[in-house]
Structure 1
Amino acid sequence: MFILFITAILLVGCSSKTEEKSGKPLVVTTTGQIADAVKEIAGDNVEVKSLMGPGVDPHLYKATQGDLQTLEQADTIFYNGLALEGKMSDIFEKMKKEKTVSAIGEVVPADRILSDPMNPKLADPHIWFDIDVWKIAVAEITKTLIEEYPDNKDEYKKNEKAYFDKLDELSNWADTRINEIPEQQRVLVTAHDAFSYFGNSHGMEVRGLQGLSTNSEYGLKDVQNIVDFLADENIKAVFIESSVSEKAMNAVIQGAKEKGHTIQVGGELFSDAMGAEGTEEGTYIGMYKHNVNTIVDSLK
């Protein structure tokens, strides 16, 4: 009986290892946004694994032992950079000595990178919310894949063009939808300052209770400033984020209530993480559409 048990364990182990070895290059990414872009460009030519799933906050993420093993097994690694994955920076620097590790956000020209209004030296890493800027980062994925796996060069270029056409269509659609919101109501208030690129590209004012990182502390004065702004501008809705605790926005809603101004939650937005794999929101385009529809339907 004991021998049968040990044999079963060994078979399971062998099966797991066999499943992990697909025969394709393993490309590992940090965020779902990057993983989705790699899949669009590479198609079925590589196996893609994302370390951070739905509801995961990359600002606070700490690599697990399993993550380190996955990164060791990877043939190529893509991450956002610009301090988004702040707690993993040292890991990526060490990995660069062993394999190709690409920080796709750090190829974006400096004049296209937004900064923290309170600290101009601090780059805003949320580049995926400006579609034109995101295309620059995705082009770096294509370039790296061609360098690493040149046999599929033509396919990668073809896939990039098709994907960029879809992104241009998405951008035009988003502009049309946002134009449904009365100009004075085009104000997006969220838990942390993740949507400046979005506001910049679609003509919306954006306010976040916390700074660029969810690691930023917020105090009573920050809450009061947001509450005063909402009341003065007669803004009726704020938004929560799938990867951030609702505690911050609940404090704003309560503060507004005490001031006699009613605020409702306009809905949940995807900010630093996308939706579940296999759902529409689990793709970059689906996530972006969800956010636009949620914002417009609540503010118009």
Structure 2
Amino acid sequence: MKHILFLLILPLAFFNCKNEKNANGKLNVVTTTSMITDLVKNIAGDHINLQGLMGSGVDPHLYKASEGDVSKLANADIIFYNGLHLEGKLVEVFEKMKQIKTIAISDALDKSTLIGSEYFASNYDPHIWFNTDYWIQATQFVVQKLADAIPEQEQVFKANGAKYIKQLEALKLEIQTAVSTLPKEKRILVTAHDAFNYFGKAYGFEVVGLQGLSTATEAGVQDVQKLSNFIIENHVKAIFIESSVPKRTIEALQAAVNSKGHNVTIGGSLYSDALGNSGTIEGTYIGMFSYNVNTIVNALK
């Protein structure tokens, strides 16, 4: 009943909030995931009023807009979101915001290069941020969209974008160097859900997620047993929990493996669908990716 009432009041809330003006005259930009918030912040700096909906540890697959989010969304001039049905539970909300410009980061990419997925209405794996080349394309895309919206700041956005792309290129080289120290036969990444397929494709990892691509699907006993056998057969040394997914499923997997006489450790917690805490290195896209790769390589060596 609450959900129905929430959807009924959305149009009225949008009408009321859009009549509110910002004192500083800057555009209101709202972002969904923490990765996108970090990306837009790097490009726009303090030339916009930026608000991110999802913080550290928030799972975008399961995220529902609260009533407090309505005012943020309704008062936005631009909303940047991932697309590809990552924020599946926000689709109904976006559909009621025809008067607000919503921009999907995934529109920057050639869909023919994406990994297919039957788990999402888009038919694509939405975890595109784990390919640094895609994130470079996303940066260029956001630069242009912001320049179109605020032409007087175009050169600033382009300069910031170029600077950020250099950092992303350096990150790509850092990842390649770290991964090259790990023998190919040890590049098997077992995590809570399949968030790392783009990473695996780019750097030669076989990626296996206990819950599949979406955390909305629960792992059953058969899934645990099947994956435990895979770990034993492939002599996998470590498996990984994720910061935005409850760790109980991976702990159950570890227990199943160990009960069969094979020792597997939990190699650490990876950031998958959200960045780390704000103000930390892992609270940035570059810091998060670097941390993840070092954690994976060190645990699997």
Question: Structure 1 residues 119 and 100 mapped into 2: Cα distance closer, same or farther (>3 Å)?
Answer: closer
What's 1:148 paired with?
149
RMSD of aligned residue pairs (Cα, Å): 1.8
Which amino acid in structure 2 is aligned with residue 152 of structure 1? Q
Displacement of 1:245 in angstroms is: 0.3
Aligned pairs for 1:174-253 within 5 A? 174-253=175-254
Displacement of 1:94 in angstroms is: 2.1
Counterpart CA distance in 1 for 2:106 and 2:93 is: 17
Which amino acid in structure 2 is aligned with residue 51 of structure 1? L
Whether the aligned pair in 2 keeps the contact of 1:240 and 1:246 (CA below 8 Å) is: yes
What's 1:42 paired with?
44
Which amino acid in structure 2 is aligned with residue 229 of structure 1? F
Displacement of 1:107 in angstroms is: 3.3
Counterpart CA distance in 1 for 2:214 and 2:275 is: 17
Which runs of no fewer than 5 residues in structure 2 stay unpaired? 1-21
Displacement of 1:117 in angstroms is: 7.3
More displaced, 138-147 or 28-37?
A: 138-147
Whether the aligned pair in 2 keeps the contact of 1:112 and 1:133 (CA below 8 Å) is: no
Which amino acid in structure 2 is aligned with residue 273 of structure 1? A
Which amino acid in structure 1 is aligned with residue 163 of structure 2? A
What's 1:28 paired with?
30
- Give the secondary structure class of the aligned counterpart of 2:192: strand
Whether the aligned pair in 1 keeps the contact of 2:85 and 2:121 (CA below 8 Å) is: no
Displacement of 1:78 in angstroms is: 0.3
Question: Structure 1 residues 270 and 119 mapped into 2: Cα distance closer, same or farther (>3 Å)?
Answer: closer
Whether the aligned pair in 2 keeps the contact of 1:116 and 1:211 (CA below 8 Å) is: no
Which runs of no fewer than 5 residues in structure 1 stay unpaired? 1-19
Aligned pairs for 1:1-300 within 5 A? 21-95=23-97, 97-116=98-117, 122-300=123-301
Displacement of 1:147 in angstroms is: 1.0
Any idea what the Cα deviations from partners look like across 1:190-209, whole Å, max 9, x if unmatched?
00000000111111111101
Sequence identity (%): 47
Whether the aligned pair in 2 keeps the contact of 1:275 and 1:283 (CA below 8 Å) is: yes
Question: Structure 1 residues 120 and 60 mapped into 2: Cα distance closer, same or farther (>3 Å)?
Answer: closer
What's 1:6 paired with?
none
Counterpart CA distance in 1 for 2:161 and 2:69 is: 28
Displacement of 1:106 in angstroms is: 3.1
- Give the secondary structure class of the aligned counterpart of 1:240: strand
Displacement of 1:44 in angstroms is: 1.7
Question: Structure 1 residues 120 and 112 mapped into 2: Cα distance closer, same or farther (>3 Å)?
Answer: farther
Whether the aligned pair in 2 keeps the contact of 1:82 and 1:106 (CA below 8 Å) is: no
Displacement of 1:100 in angstroms is: 1.2
Q: Normalising by structure 2, what TM-score?
A: 0.89
Counterpart CA distance in 2 for 1:120 and 1:67 is: 24
Which amino acid in structure 2 is aligned with residue 100 of structure 1? K
Which amino acid in structure 2 is aligned with residue 69 of structure 1? S
- Give the secondary structure class of the aligned counterpart of 2:58: coil
Whether the aligned pair in 1 keeps the contact of 2:191 and 2:242 (CA below 8 Å) is: yes
Whether the aligned pair in 1 keeps the contact of 2:239 and 2:264 (CA below 8 Å) is: yes
Whether the aligned pair in 2 keeps the contact of 1:191 and 1:209 (CA below 8 Å) is: yes
Whether the aligned pair in 1 keeps the contact of 2:130 and 2:196 (CA below 8 Å) is: yes
- Give the secondary structure class of the aligned counterpart of 2:62: coil
Displacement of 1:167 in angstroms is: 0.4
